[in-house]
Amino acid sequence: MVTAEQVTGYLSERFDAPVEVLSLFQTFPGMSRETWILSANIGEGSTREKRELVLRIDPPSGGGVPVPLKVEWEVYVRLWNSPIPIAEPLWYDEGIPFAEGRAHMLKIFVDGSPAIPGLHARGPEGDEMRRKTAFEHAEKLAMVHTLDWKAYGFDTFLPTPKSAEDALRYDFEIWKQHWFDRRTAPLPGVTRAIFWLEEQIPTDSPRISLFKGNNGLNEEIWKDGKIVAMSDWELAGLGDPAQDWAFSQGMLNLWDEEKTLAHYEEAAGFKLSRRALAFYKLFMTFKAIVCLNSTMAAFMDGRDLRAVIPFMGLGSVKNMEYMLNSLVGMDIEEATAVVSGRPAVLHREEQGLA
């Protein structure tokens, strides 16, 4: 938690000007990192200016993903000079008195909302809104996935696979290592699922792309039917673009999946591997297991006592372990079809993600 008084003192120092915080609130939800939206008058006299800002701060556990906030900051810095719509990054800091030394970054607030009015309306109007939303998202993802990441220097700080063929295995090895380095207890059921997935890693990725990692419904900032800022790049990386569709938080269920993907492929100029997409739908569950379980170390040593941490780090993880083990032995496309064939809400509830 941070208070208006703390933020006032901190911003006054950083802007080297008087600051009056007019409002400050933490957005909900947001479990992996704290996001605070604030409005403040900065400066005095003729230089006084009202600014809307966003503070993104690591929780006391150090973050709900095994990637430092500094990496997300570097992504923002590079994207700010690119065609991808994002909030303007101002600065990053850590290890200072503000926020008990926790890593944090400041961005300019972008006017808009993660909520999309009318998205769940019934009838033809609702259908058209869902189609337009899915297509707009597809076009923006195509922009991300075709960005010349070498020209923008993403390979200078993000792990980079040697080839498209190697992209999925490279990503898998990184997350496998995260699991065995960070898990709070041996879970042989998860080990079994990892080895089952590992035997079926596809090698037909079309290209190495910048991927967002965490995207889809409720992740971007929308205004007047358009994405005005792509937010939350905490799991961004270089690899197979299919994973952004596998973890698009319901975007593929919004409209006809194949028509949405066809629209994306037309915009991107390449075809996605459907087998890689199937693989990633299961691999993302494993990534969730890693993120949720590794945060529990901070709960157990008392650094971060939020109740949601053991709920998801223990309960959701055990339910995901159970679900993955019920699929072991199947071909990944068959397994994905089994999971996809069940009501999405049931799947999410079993995982504790509803």
Partner 1 sequence: MRPSSKEIIDGISWVLNNRVAPHATEAWAASSLRSVAGLLKHLSVRVESEGQILSEDNSDLRALLMNVAARLGDGSGTSQWTAEVRASLDKEWRATGSYPTVGSLEEENYALNSHLEKFMHLLHDAGAGIRESETTEIEADVGAYLKRQMERERPLYNPPFTGPPF
Min. distance of Cβ 70 from partner 1 in angstroms?
26
Q: Is 346 exposed, middle or buried (0-12, 13-18, 19+ CB in 10 A)?
A: exposed
Given its phi and psi angles, is residue 216 left (phi above 0), alpha (psi -120 to 50 degrees) or beta? left
Min. distance of Cβ 298 from partner 1 in angstroms?
15
Please state, in angstroms and rounded to a whole number, the distance separating the CA atoms of residues 92 and 15: 14
Decide whether 34 or 74 has the Cβ nearer to partner 1.
34
Decide whether 79 or 289 has the Cβ nearer to partner 1.
289
- Using CB under 8 A as the criterion, which residues of the chain lie in contact with partner 1 when the complex forms? 26, 28-29, 31, 185-189, 191-192, 195, 306-308, 310-312, 314-316, 318-319, 321-322, 325, 328, 349-350, 352-354
Q: Which residue has the tokens 């933490």?
A: 26
Decide whether 68 or 189 has the Cβ nearer to partner 1.
189
Residues 232, 100, 38, 353, Cα dihedral to 10°: 40
Which residues, including other chains, have CB under 8 Å from residue 16's CB and lie 6 or more apart? none
**HSE (CB half, 13 Å, CA atoms) of 243?**
29
Decide whether 113 or 163 has the Cβ nearer to partner 1.
113
Please state, in angstroms and rounded to a whole number, the distance separating the CA atoms of residues 221 and 226: 8
Q: Is 239 exposed, middle or buried (0-12, 13-18, 19+ CB in 10 A)?
A: buried
Alpha-carbon torsion 178, 180, 186, 191, what sign?
positive
Min. distance of Cβ 157 from partner 1 in angstroms?
31
Residue 55's DSSP bridge partners are 36, 106
Min. distance of Cβ 344 from partner 1 in angstroms?
14
Min. distance of Cβ 196 from partner 1 in angstroms?
10
Min. distance of Cβ 3 from partner 1 in angstroms?
15
> Which of these, 78, 80, 76, 70, lies nearest to 104 by C-alpha position?
70
Decide whether 119 or 187 has the Cβ nearer to partner 1.
187
Decide whether 267 or 314 has the Cβ nearer to partner 1.
314
Min. distance of Cβ 212 from partner 1 in angstroms?
22
Decide whether 262 or 346 has the Cβ nearer to partner 1.
346
